[in-house]
Amino acid sequence: MLVPLAHAQNLGETIQECPGTLTGSTQPQQIHLQMTDDASVMNVIWATEGRSTGEVEWNGQTSPSTDYCYNHDMAFHMASMTGLTPGEEVTYRVGSGGDWSEEFSFTPIDSSAEHFEWISIGDHGDSSEAMDVSDGIISDSAAQMVTISGDISYADGEQSAWDDWFNYQQDSMTSIPWVTAVGNHENEPGYGFVPYEHRFDSDGQIESEIFWYSRDVPGVHMVFMSTEHDYEPGSTQYAWLEQDLSSVNRDVTPFVIVYGHKPMYSSNSYHGSEVELRDALEELYVAKGVDLVIAGHDHFYERTWPVSAETVQDEGKGERFARGIAPIHLVIGMAGRSAYEELDEPQPEWSAYRENSTYGWTRMVYDGDVREISFTHYRIDGTIGDEFILQEAPLGSGSDDGFLGVPGFGASLPILAMFGAAIRRLR
């Protein structure tokens, strides 16, 4: 349920926390959409050098912003666009102190749509390779959302790095929402998670300390959890995960994807598998039918087979898998940080595919007509590193999978059925 936006900070708080914002330009920058749990509401956050009162205008309506700051000389503004119709384009602009942005447009995600495309990355930053990844995302006009599995800007206490990172992504973030899981580099020296809390939003509140939440998109229930906070059984986060995963309506969202930062399975020698995380949550994920677990942290790409307790549960059929066997785990920490090239040898049995010296992003497409997700790992040079399909139906039940091991036999079943019915009528 959407919580109303919090009240703005008063002048006294501003003087205490960020006195440098008492003067400066009020021209909006770092503009980015923030997806809520209500498809008819979209939040937008932006920054200005100087403190001011802001507002958003969209489709002939206006709404004031919540205005706030933290120990950094930038003022932030968050406003809500409400009454939106999923699937119908919205045109908007934001302003502060009389200075306005240009007009942007976005289309609210229609969770009942039969088609949805999105991009997932992890471990991004501002390297030349990271900018290549950003350019690929910005040029992708079909993508409707981006997810980040933590370690976002690598500001590490240098707050201007966040400013630069947001401004570079703005061409994408003003038209589609970027949805985040928190990573260890969001816990910054001297700041903790404060910059992350002020620059991203999951509940309409500034200075929110909620680091786990979920969103529904066509065909998929997405869970964003924190590997940086207590997740052990008995913790607040564990209880929330158990409740959230238990509430999924598979008729509406047949697939469940969990995004977090540190991986349960990784054969990279730098960090490797987060065994404590696996011990705490794997049984829950298997019991609740989680289909994909997407992480970063290790700067390489790896896909597992459907796996539980380090034991392969299924090897699929070619590049196709059926959901409901066990989660497939992905490590996608190759969006721009220096590659971790040393791998564990021999390759573990649960590891289906890995590569350790490339950069890129991952792209997924949900097809509601056949209720399946196609997955592709793209390298920044335009080549494809890995791809697979996850379907709702058991393998062998679809026409493309054959019947009794005979390829194409499934497509003949309707013809044989009609032929049999004709024979019965002649008897």
**Same domain, residue pair 70 and 186:** no
**Same domain, residue pair 334 and 244:** yes
Give the three-state DSSP class for 46. Answer: strand
Q: Could you read off the pLDDT of 111-148 as tens digits, one per residue? A: 999 999 999 999 999 999 999 999 999 999 999 999 99
Domain boundary among 81, 108, 135: 108
Measured at the CA of 56, the angle between CA 54 and CA 62, to 5 degrees, comes to 110
Q: Which residue ranges in the chain fall short of pLDDT 70?
A: 1-17, 19-20, 397-427
- Domain with residue 265: its CATH number is 3.60.21.10
What does 393-412 look like in DSSP terms, one character per residue? SPTTSSGGG-BTTBTTHHHH
CA distances from residue 109 to 4, 89, 201, 217, 419 in whole angstroms, order as listed: 20, 10, 17, 7, 45
**Same domain, residue pair 233 and 270:** yes
CB atoms within 10 A of CB 50: 18
Q: Could you read off the pLDDT of 350-369 as tens digits, one per residue? A: 999 999 999 999 999 999 99
**Same domain, residue pair 75 and 168:** no
Evaluate whether 123 touches 181 at the Cβ level (below 8 Å).
no
**Same domain, residue pair 260 and 371:** yes
- Number of domains the chain is built from: 2
**Same domain, residue pair 255 and 317:** yes
**Same domain, residue pair 175 and 306:** yes
Is 422 within the bounds of a domain?
Answer: no
Is 427 within the bounds of a domain?
Answer: no
**Same domain, residue pair 157 and 287:** yes
**Same domain, residue pair 205 and 309:** yes
Q: Could you read off the pLDDT of 97-107 as tens digits, one per residue? A: 889 999 999 99
Q: Determine the pLDDT at residue 12.
A: 59
The residues, ordered by sequence, that sit 6+ positions from 424 with a Cβ below 8 Å of its Cβ are none
Q: Determine the pLDDT at residue 399.
A: 41
Q: Determine the pLDDT at residue 401.
A: 47
Is 223 within the bounds of a domain?
Answer: yes
**Same domain, residue pair 230 and 302:** yes
Tell me which residue range forms the domain holding 278: 113-395
**Same domain, residue pair 131 and 86:** no
- Domain with residue 29: its CATH number is 2.60.40.380
**Same domain, residue pair 322 and 385:** yes
